[in-house]
Amino acid sequence: MGQHRTIALLDGSNYTEWKNSMDPNLALLDFDLCLREDPPEEIQPPEELNMAEEDYEQLRWNYDEKSAAWVKSNRLSLMYIKNHISPEIIGGIVDSDNAKTYLANIEENFKSSSKTYASTIISKMITSTYNGKGSVRKHILEMTNMAHQLKSMDMDVTEGFLVHFIMSFLGPDFGPFKINYNTQKEKWTIQELIAHSVEEEER
């Protein structure tokens, strides 16, 4: 089992950060079966399936195994999720005995705060010019992380756009470097941008 992240209680102002930690934690704890799959459908009686008793017993055993695993996953997920919500706000969330539905109810409560957080990230990105302080690698990784956060809020940021965007906000020392890139037909990946930018920085 991987190392899971520490999650701050959901308090009404930190939904996006909470969600970005909650999802991988549920996966690392192996609680997320109920989020990835619907509960198995109840099997029909043997007389309706027209199959041999031995085959039906195997089918029933498979169903019982899957159902038990799903029920356990759902129970543990709900306990874990609710344990990481502040008591002051948990009463305002529509309850559900289905963990996937409960997470959707939480998201519905905090859609507006997600939009506000997205606006904050976008504002930070368009004011993050690299001016030579710190490493260009760190700057690009920070910008990439902000783009990833936007993607987690269903705001698509393509790699090609992100490379061009980051390139536009490199400082004047990278002027010839940017001109050289703009004259090329080939498009870079983020990893290629990092490699070439670090090489340019070290000249």
Instruction: Write b or e for each residue in 5-44: b if 16 or more Cβ atoms lie within 10 A of its Cβ, otherwise e.
Output: eebeebeeebbbebbbbbeebbeeeebbbbbeeeebeeee
Provide the mean pLDDT of the chain. Answer: 87
Domain boundary among 93, 116, 139: 116
Same domain, yes or no: 82 and 173: no
Same domain, yes or no: 27 and 107: yes
> What CA–CA distance (Å, rounded) separates 158 from 160?
5
Query: For residue 4, which phi and psi values (nearest 5 degrees)?
Result: -90, 160
Percentage above 90 pLDDT, the chain = 41
Whether the per-residue pLDDT at 74 is higher than 60: the answer is: yes
Total tally of structural domains belonging to the chain: 2
Whether the per-residue pLDDT at 97 is higher than 60: the answer is: yes
pLDDT level of residue 69 (50, 70, 90 thresholds): very high
Residue range 127-155, pLDDT digits in tens: 888 888 888 999 999 999 888 878 877 78
Per-residue confidence (pLDDT) for residue 4, from 0 to 100: 62
Domain boundary among 116, 145, 168: 116
Domain boundary among 116, 136, 162: 116
Same domain, yes or no: 93 and 177: no
Q: How much is the CA Rg of the chain, to the nearest whole Å?
A: 24
Residue range 4-24, pLDDT digits in tens: 668 989 987 788 889 989 999
**Does residue 140 lie within any of the structural domains?**
yes
**Does residue 16 lie within any of the structural domains?**
yes
Same domain, yes or no: 65 and 134: no
- Residue 32, domain extent: 10-116
Residue range 184-193, pLDDT digits in tens: 878 899 999 9
Q: What secondary structure does DSSP assign to 80-138, as a single string?
A: HHHTTB-HHHHTTSPP-SSHHHHHHHHHHHTHHHHHHHHHHHHHHHHT--B-SSS-HHH
**Does residue 105 lie within any of the structural domains?**
yes
50 versus 6: the higher-pLDDT residue is 6
Same domain, yes or no: 32 and 102: yes
Residue range 156-176, pLDDT digits in tens: 889 999 999 999 888 888 888
Residues 192, 145, 132: CA angle, nearest 5 degrees: 65
**Does residue 109 lie within any of the structural domains?**
yes
**Does residue 93 lie within any of the structural domains?**
yes
Same domain, yes or no: 65 and 104: yes
- Alpha-carbon distances, residue 53 vs 20, 72, 98 (angstroms): 47, 28, 33
pLDDT level of residue 1 (50, 70, 90 thresholds): very low
Per-residue confidence (pLDDT) for residue 114, from 0 to 100: 65
